[in-house]
Structure 1
Amino acid sequence: MVMRAVHMTGMIVASILILSLGAAWLARVRSRHMSVETLLVADRALPAPMLFILTVGEIYSIGSIVAFPSGLYAHGVSYGYWFLGYLLLAFPVGYFVGPAIWRRAKQYNACTLPEVFGRHFGSIAFERLTAWACVIALVPWGQFQFIGLSSVLDTMGFSAAPAAGLAGCAVIAFAYVSLGGVRASTYVAFLKDVLMLFGIAAVGVGAIGMQYKLSAGHAVITTPTFPLPTGSSLVFAISTIIYQGVGFYFQPSVTPYLFTARSAQAVRRAMVFMPLYMVMYPFAVFATVFALRFLPSLPDPNAVFFHVAATLLPSWIVALAAAGALLAGLLVLAATSLNIAAMMTRNIAPGLGRRHPKRAINLAVILFLVLALVATAHAPAIMLTALNLSGYVGIQFASLWFLILTGWPVSARIAGLGLFSGAGVAIALFASGVSIGGINPGLIGFLVNCAIVFCPLWRSRSDVRVHNKKDLL
């Protein structure tokens, strides 16, 4: 019986993955040509609905269906406060800064983040330096998708050959990139969103119904308590909401998607509807509460959502939810590998892609996927720690965007000093385990970063090289 369920799940998931490849191929067919700009920024032609689908497809990744329920299950309601809180803050911030970011990328004709930074500050060296910093921030994020994919494959019953399963995921992610680049991610994201929303809603509704029946029959095993965060946990939640909410759309893992929009107005229209996608989180909370009440001793918190799904729902619905989770991880993996490959071949070592840029990008994607797969298989715990560290680097880029959007005149030297000082302070505090009243170490590092770049002393000096827009046009 178990083998039959696993076989059926495998057939459903395989069919959906083939369908996703068809969607990626459709993106290739509908593209008039496949230039580098098409591959990386979809020719800056995505209308608001497609930009919305692409962006939420990357924001609400595999963590929404795996990490969020597992965090609530393992750490309690305080995890949910900052997780949901920073998203709610990020959307209004994105509404105001997103169009401005698009305009700067268009002004500098940039396909990658380092191109914006390098051309604004007039420094090729600064472009390469920020490219390396972006790669440092993105590599653990891409590797984390492999960890999430591995968790989903395990819950589906395909843990006998984990390396083969993850290798298959890497091949599919590369197929998305090679077929249609970032536009392919948009087409696949639509399929992923339908499956994820359906799966999470189905599990949540099933959990509500079953809790009502079991509670009426007095079958509750335990009654969980949900105390409000206090003391240092409250300070951590608030500081994390501020830090990640303000810096969310300035991260290298999010900002490039804004470059694909047709216009600044398309970015603004897409941002208006971003919060609606959070409708799935209450259903994830319902599923987690069911697990806390009736399944209080699960050995692997990462599998809590799918364990509840398997307990409450038919296997075909579980398979659809698992397929949505797989597509979520694959989309982010493909987009992350494409961003890293673009920076490696355009900003760090542009000579590699001068003659055959698309071929160089594809080869760099393959190299990253192989290295990330090997690293994840041999050191998953290290990768999880590196994921925390990558956030301390990624959000520090907000200071550079503040400088660009406000026109604050400092040199590339000072901007780089602030960026790396902030990241260094945050990582040092995290690694040392020193707690400053529960404040998120990333926020402390970011304040150091901003204090350096916005120091009035630098403004009074005359060594600023590029802030006259006429020199750039």
Structure 2
Amino acid sequence: MAAFIFISIILFSLLLALMVNRNAKKGDVADFLVGGRSFGVIILFFLAVGEIYSVATVIGLPGSIYAKGVNYGIWFMAFLLLIYPVGYFLAPKIWQAGKHYDAMTAPDLFKSHFKSRTLELVVAVCYLMFLIPWAQMQFQGLIVALNALGYEIEPVVAVIIAGAIAFIYISISGVKAPAMIAVLKDILLFGAIVGVGWAAFHKMGGVEELFIAARDQGASIAYANQDEVVFSMSTIVFQSMAFYCLPFMITILFTSKSAGGIKRAKRFMPLYMLMFPFLIAAAYYAMVKIPNLPSPNHAFIATAIDVLPSWAVGFVAAGAALSGLILISVISLSVGGIFTRNLVSNVPLQSQKRLSQIVILVYLIISMILTVVLPSLMLNLMNTAYAGFGQMLPGLLSVVFFKRATAAGVLSGLVVGIAAVFAMYFSEFNLYALNIGLIALVLNSITVFVVSALTQRSAVPGLSTKTA
């Protein structure tokens, strides 16, 4: 029964994509990549939330609490609490810059604002390098969701299924299909999380009983030492700023009709944090009742199987799978857009959609192969990806705020920041347990300031501060 429900929901999502295709503008790259900048508050809300609450939240958060304790959950919730106010003020400015420069990708902002082909190329290459492991994380989440149905599906089969479905979504109607499917996914996902958590509380006899039992199993919110506190706090600060440097997040912002729509969507996004007590409940239940899982990532699905009837597990697995598929789709769109518009030069506008589709297919195939064949390489890139994306922040802030930064300054800062990330990661550098991304960002910012001061000739014309 669970498998039937799971497959039915996946097929229904494909039907939704086909329905959206009726209104798609054939051959229009803006419609394909950023939905023609036509998304209202509701669609933008669901699509943007889908990038925050992905399969990593559903699978990874309970798994991390199961393996490492609730401290990870505290970090994640604090990180989310910060990205909302940061996004409320920064995201509309990014949209404004995108509208001003007719940008469809993150590197488009750097290209148009700084008028530097070299800077555009470096930004595009860095983004593409760090985007490869991001899809792998979603593939792994889908494998967990499928295995939860009782089928031990080989990783290669699972990633082929995921890649094929994601490609169908975006090849049909670009970003509009993931946006529409995101509504279905969020209804399933929120219902699944609340249902699993509520059932876990009920089966344990109440909230207090579950938390006491988890405490007896070693669950604690106390940090082991000062280094853990420093690392956690510095990571929260860094990642809350770096979040809006993610290329697919920037692409999603560009889909909005207006800057005001982004602000209105941001006001309601904190409501999604209501799911966290139920995610923690699922993790605690697994700690108490299922202590010997083969992988911590099975904690949420294993709890669902234990506390819910079989038919309900199908809805849970489908919600988790769709969350991964949507993010894979949006990431792939970002890759296609960056390659077509920024890495390759002088592609005619009418040819960009077709070339983007080809690039997306190649990207998905490469990601699937690397996921299966070179998982250790993917792990290293994943561990540095967020720190790498965060190095785009000085340049991005220069586009929307600091008009006297130069292309040479931003380029130098980016090179210094990325080099510092890799050097510190592979040498296991430790400075008071600070997040290496934050250290690299400081070096990056200093470099931008110094080099810009030395190469400054005239201020770059600013953007209008009027929001649409």
TM-score, normalisation: structure 2: 0.93
Q: Is the 8 A contact 1:176 1:184 kept in 2?
A: yes
Mapped to 2, the partners of 1:150 and 1:297 lie a distance apart of 19
Partner of 1:404 in structure 2?
399
Q: Is the 8 A contact 1:147 1:380 kept in 2?
A: no
How far apart are 1:220 and its partner, in Å?
Answer: 5.6
Give the counterpart of 2:204 among 208, 211, 221.
211
Partner of 1:257 in structure 2?
252
- The answer to whether structure 1 residue 62 and structure 2 residue 55 are counterparts is yes
Question: For residue 233 of structure 1, what is the amino acid of its counterpart?
Answer: E
Mapped to 1, the partners of 2:176 and 2:230 lie a distance apart of 40
Partner of 2:313 in structure 1?
318
Q: Is the 8 A contact 1:54 1:185 kept in 2?
A: yes
Mapped to 1, the partners of 2:295 and 2:456 lie a distance apart of 58
Mapped to 1, the partners of 2:106 and 2:283 lie a distance apart of 38
Give the counterpart of 1:448 among 443, 452, 457.
443
Partner of 1:225 in structure 2?
219
Give the counterpart of 1:369 among 364, 367, 380.
364
Mapped to 1, the partners of 2:455 and 2:116 lie a distance apart of 18
How far apart are 1:467 and its partner, in Å?
Answer: 0.8
Matches within 5 A, 1:18-417: 18-212=11-205, 222-229=216-223, 230-351=225-346, 356-417=351-412
Q: Is the 8 A contact 2:409 2:449 kept in 1?
A: no
User: What SS does the aligned partner of 1:350 have?
Assistant: coil
Q: Quote the RMSD (CA, aligned, Å).
A: 2.1
How far apart are 1:460 and its partner, in Å?
Answer: 5.7
How far apart are 1:352 and its partner, in Å?
Answer: 5.7
The alpha-carbon distance between structure 1 residues 213 and 255, as it changes in their structure 2 partners (threshold 3 A), is: closer
**Contiguous gaps of at least 5 residues in structure 2:** 464-468
Partner of 2:466 in structure 1?
none
Q: Is the 8 A contact 2:417 2:444 kept in 1?
A: yes
Give the counterpart of 1:459 among 444, 453, 456.
453
How far apart are 1:299 and its partner, in Å?
Answer: 2.3
User: What SS does the aligned partner of 1:448 have?
Assistant: helix
Question: For residue 150 of structure 1, what is the amino acid of its counterpart?
Answer: I
User: What SS does the aligned partner of 1:253 have?
Assistant: helix
Q: Deviations over 1:337-372 (max 9, x none)?
A: 111011111111135666632221111111011111
How far apart are 1:216 and its partner, in Å?
Answer: 7.4
**Contiguous gaps of at least 5 residues in structure 1:** 1-7
Q: Is the 8 A contact 1:340 1:365 kept in 2?
A: yes
Question: For residue 198 of structure 1, what is the amino acid of its counterpart?
Answer: G
**Higher deviation after alignment, 353-362 or 101-110:** 353-362
Mapped to 2, the partners of 1:35 and 1:264 lie a distance apart of 23
**Higher deviation after alignment, 372-381 or 348-357:** 348-357
The alpha-carbon distance between structure 1 residues 215 and 133, as it changes in their structure 2 partners (threshold 3 A), is: closer
Q: Is the 8 A contact 2:404 2:456 kept in 1?
A: no
Q: Is the 8 A contact 1:199 1:324 kept in 2?
A: yes
How far apart are 1:143 and its partner, in Å?
Answer: 2.0
How far apart are 1:168 and its partner, in Å?
Answer: 1.6
Percentage of matched positions with identical amino acids? 33
The alpha-carbon distance between structure 1 residues 289 and 358, as it changes in their structure 2 partners (threshold 3 A), is: same
**Higher deviation after alignment, 397-406 or 162-171:** 162-171
Mapped to 2, the partners of 1:461 and 1:371 lie a distance apart of 40
Q: Is the 8 A contact 2:332 2:364 kept in 1?
A: yes
User: What SS does the aligned partner of 2:247 have?
Assistant: coil
How far apart are 1:291 and its partner, in Å?
Answer: 1.5
How far apart are 1:139 and its partner, in Å?
Answer: 1.4
Q: Is the 8 A contact 2:130 2:385 kept in 1?
A: yes
How far apart are 1:147 and its partner, in Å?
Answer: 1.8
Q: Deviations over 1:176-230 (max 9, x none)?
A: 111111111110000000111011111100111111179979x969533314224
Mapped to 2, the partners of 1:216 and 1:437 lie a distance apart of 39
Mapped to 2, the partners of 1:279 and 1:215 lie a distance apart of 18
